[in-house]
């Protein structure tokens, strides 16, 4: 009879310990998601402190973001900069510039314009030298 009571006591303690552990885990996760944000960028994952603590967006994937999203979600952009990851923002902006360049051929047009300007300057210089 005493053996059963001891087993019941031990299983009750194990149950209580499990419930307390799960409660502590839930409180810790809630505290973390309220105050911090995990941001995935092209260079990896970063944990940053939220500027306005709330339960919104504890995880953000910025790998496909463009300049529009950087402005649209300024609070997240500022949090990343304030945490010392400003280079991630410039990387997103450069990816957007490169995409636009590839889509519209801007750099090729600029190069053509520069070549034409250089050719025109040479022609003018030759005319000035001839006169």
Rg (alpha carbons) of the chain, rounded to whole number: 30
Reported confidence tier of residue 96, pLDDT bands at 50, 70, 90:
confident
Enumerate the β-bridge partners of residue 36.
49
Structure tokens at 131: 């006169």
At residue 6 the predicted structure's pLDDT band, cuts being 50, 70 and 90, is low
Q: Which of 29-33, 47-51, 56-60, 63-67 has the lowest mean pLDDT?
A: 63-67
How high is the mean pLDDT of the chain?
85
Q: How confident is the model at residue 117 (pLDDT cuts 50, 70, 90)?
A: confident
48 dihedral zone (left: phi>0; alpha: psi -120 to 50; beta): beta
* Residue range 29-38: mean pLDDT, rounded: 93
Count of helices and strands (H, E) across the chain: 5, 3
> How far is residue 121 from each of residues 48, 109, 125, 128, measured CA to CA in Å?
52, 18, 6, 10
Answer yes or no: is pLDDT of 4 > 70.
no
Q: What integer pLDDT is reported at residue 89 of this predicted model?
A: 82
Residue 42 has pLDDT above 50, yes or no: yes
pTM of the model: 0.62
Residue 39: pLDDT band (50, 70, 90) is very high
Query: In 36-130, which residue ranges form alpha helices assigned H by DSSP?
Result: 67-72, 74-82, 86-104, 106-130
């Amino acid at each position: 009879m005493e053996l059963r009571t001891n087993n019941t006591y031990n299983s009750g303690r194990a149950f209580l310990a499990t419930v307390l552990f799960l409660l502590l885990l839930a409180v810790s996760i809630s505290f973390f998601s309220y105050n911090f944000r995990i941001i995935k960028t092209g260079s990896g994952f970063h944990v940053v402190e939220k500027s306005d603590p709330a339960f919104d967006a504890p995880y953000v994937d910025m790998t496909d973001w463009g300049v529009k999203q950087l402005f649209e979600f300024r609070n997240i952009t500022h949090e990343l900069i304030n945490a010392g990851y400003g280079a991630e923002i410039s990387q997103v902006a450069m990816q957007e510039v490169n995409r636009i360049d590839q889509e519209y051929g801007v750099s090729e047009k600029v190069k053509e314009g520069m070549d034409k300007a250089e050719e025109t300057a040479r022609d003018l210089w030759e005319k000035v030298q001839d006169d």
